[in-house]
Amino acid sequence: AQRVTQPEKLLSVFKGAPVELKCNYSYSGSPELFWYVQYSRQRLQLLLRHISRESIKGFTADLNKGETSFHLKKPFAQEEDSAMYYCALRGGSEKLVFGKGTKLTVNP
């Protein structure tokens, strides 16, 4: 079975502070992992995927198979980063499963 856990429902930081959104997964095979972001009144959009190992909007995420984690990090948070963030997993089929999401608020 595929399962994604995002332990923090809400996360609040100040502008310029580092931010880390946690994601742990459960899947016995090789997972495909993604981070999606949903800004207020906008469509759900891809932020990062584990295979690309790129930085988007200053965010990075590293797949740690030993800890079964795919945490999202940014060294200096900006107010425009305030949004809902979902970690998602696909394991061997077309099914993409989302975690419950973390609402990030970046305060001025």
Partner 1 sequence: DTEVTQTPKHLVMGMTNKKSLKCEQHMGHRAMYWYKQKAKKPPELMFVYSYEKLSINESVPSRFSPECPNSSLLNLHLHALQPEDSALYLCASRAGAYNSPLHFGNGTRLTVT
Residues near partner 1 (CB under 8 A): 32, 34, 43-46, 49-52, 86, 93-101
Least distance between partner 1 and beta carbon 108 (Å): 24
Least distance between partner 1 and beta carbon 16 (Å): 28
Q: Decide whether 102 or 106 has the Cβ nearer to partner 1.
A: 102
Least distance between partner 1 and beta carbon 9 (Å): 9
Q: Decide whether 38 or 69 has the Cβ nearer to partner 1.
A: 38
Q: Decide whether 73 or 98 has the Cβ nearer to partner 1.
A: 98
Rounded distance between C-alpha atoms, residue 21 and residue 61, angstroms: 10
Residue with the two structure tokens 């891809």: 46
CB 21 within 8 A of CB 104: yes
SS (H, E, C) 36-51: EEECCCCCCEEEEECC
- Would you tell me how many other CB atoms lie within 10 Å of the CB of residue 41? 5
